[in-house]
Structure 1
Amino acid sequence: MRIVENDAVQATAWQVDAAAVFAVGWDAEGPMFTWPQSGRILPDGGALIGEFSEGTIYRIAPDGSVAATWGRKGEGPGEYQAFDAILLHGDSILVSDGRLRRITWLSSEGELLSTRSKAGGFLHRVSAITDDGRLLLVPGGGYSAVDEIRQEWVFETQPILSSYPEGSRVDTLAVLPYLRRWYGSRAAPPGAIRVAGAAGGYPGGFAWARADRPEVRWFDASGELTQIARWNEEAEPFTAEFRSRFLDFFAESAESAGRDEASVAAQRMELEENLDRHDGPLPYWDSFFVDRAGNTWTRRYGLPLNPAGEWRIVTRDGELLGWIDLPGVVAILDASDDHVLVALLGELDVSAVALFPIDKGG
């Protein structure tokens, strides 16, 4: 196992070009996205986007035009309820649907090749296809791929699983700690400020981090710990000013959604009591993403539904890079060697998907 200690942020941080290759969703002539749930950059420079509300996959051409649409909302062959992952494997496309607990294989042109059901509950999601063709499943919304759901998986641990697409056997690669966000009993409501662990896969294995410490861990595809990267960083304190901004943002969002004054006041009081239970500083991040090369992206902790625009990258070699600005980005959908595909939220909460070039400074 390799341990990398970063004393300071490297000066040669990556940069994301401010000019997008394309942006889809804000043009009145194009599709209107409600929730672009998953996406994948294509070798030709275009992208696949899974739109949750329609159950449709959009194939976007390199110029940003819609080249094709596949699927619709439903439960039949070629229909979808959710898009936990859209992955490329050789000349085929894998679509993981956690609500239907099903894997769908498509040709590169969108032709339906096969579907396969996955048993179990809603505990895991497909995150990557390993180099030897296994599905790598990490905790998150989706399916567990096992018949038995263990209670401790929900509250205490995070198993990382693997399974071949055509088989029913499931292997546990690692069991990692889950940072409980419940206050008191398991029946209590979750904390408004979420402190948890998260994992993401890539073809060579998976990476895992926990939001209460400046550290990332990498594992190979067999579940062996191969590297730990650490750095010096003080956590941001949970201040009265942040608490006030949190409450004000909630009230403004609730009012803009049309809730009545009494309802907003009651929910605000409940939220105040929840925030009073939080003990300690803010988490180091609120979103964790692993790209195809195994580099990790973590977003600075911000207000719910109003995320901070700064992302920190730790490379697969354990090198800590500086903050990268991605304003308005609510989620990273995919990142290749030279591009990043993101979901954006604009005025009136209108969603879009954009592809940006990455400059890695040589």
Structure 2
Amino acid sequence: MRLTGEPSERSRVPPAAPERVRSPLEILQGRVGNRAVQRLVALQREPTAEQSAEFDGYVKAGDWGRAAWVLNDWQSGDIAARLKLLSKTQLELLNEGAWHGGKSNVDAAVRAADPGAAIRGALRVLIWGKRWGEAATQLAGLGRMPALIYVRNLANQKLITGDELRQLVGLAPDVRLRPGDALTVRHTTYVVYATTVRFEGEPAWRNSNPGALKLPSPAIPGWGYTDIDPDLFLVFPDSATGQSAAMANLEFQAKEFSGRSIVDTMRKYASMPSDDPVAYANKIVTALGGPPVTRDTPFGSLTKAQLETVKGVIFATEKGKVGREVPHDSTELPGEIRDLLMP
């Protein structure tokens, strides 16, 4: 039995043979012709000796736009192999050339080889073209502190005006100065706090670092420092964090170097040419009440209460000169600082 409307065997029409699917190459040939397709197929192939020599010549001449133009049509593996022979600076310049000419294959290869160089090369073009939105996007890929240093250098080299810098900072919040950041302008270090900026004075005061701690090796992020000044003194966001770090450092020294004497501990702690470790150790011994504690007493034998006393001696000794502290909008701050302190 067949259902109503179903065709009989005799009335059925054999299905047509499926139409052959044409390849993309055949479709392209039909549209632009064989000769044009042959030229396109020739792109991104193994570079000839002539092409390699042409690229090397452009690199030697510093013509990075033409160098990127030649390189862009090579196979990705050949591009990557050639990039390995270039320095970071050359990669940056090459990617600048790629961005000028829209050579995306070179841009992709440089980003794979050295993302930082690729971003800096792109930024050269974007800053020159005042394309602030795209520049902000690229800066985000650098990471906060490298991006902050980058825009600071732009201002130093007069490659960007104050108004342009503020416009860029408005689009790239990561390059704004935050509490705990330290920035040096014309040999003066400025440390940012929530509503004020400190400068001049001793690092112990300026950096909220009463223990005058320097960058340890290996680093100990648990201390809570937020930056490092040019003399490698740690910067803390507030005094309480700095005080806690000073105590954590003493406990670390007592545990890791328990057999080291008080005087030898101070030789490691107070190692600047102007420091007097023996006098430092004598102050500590006096504060601890003298014998049985002497300069030769193992630092690791001190109790927590005694370490608190040691901390007090260090704070009193390192306190030093108090500098100046002004609000964010103070005209006493350089324009380069104020431009990066947008609310």
Tell me the TM-score normalized by structure 1.
Answer: 0.21
**Which of these two proteins has the greater Rg computed from alpha carbons?**
2
TM-score (norm 2): 0.22
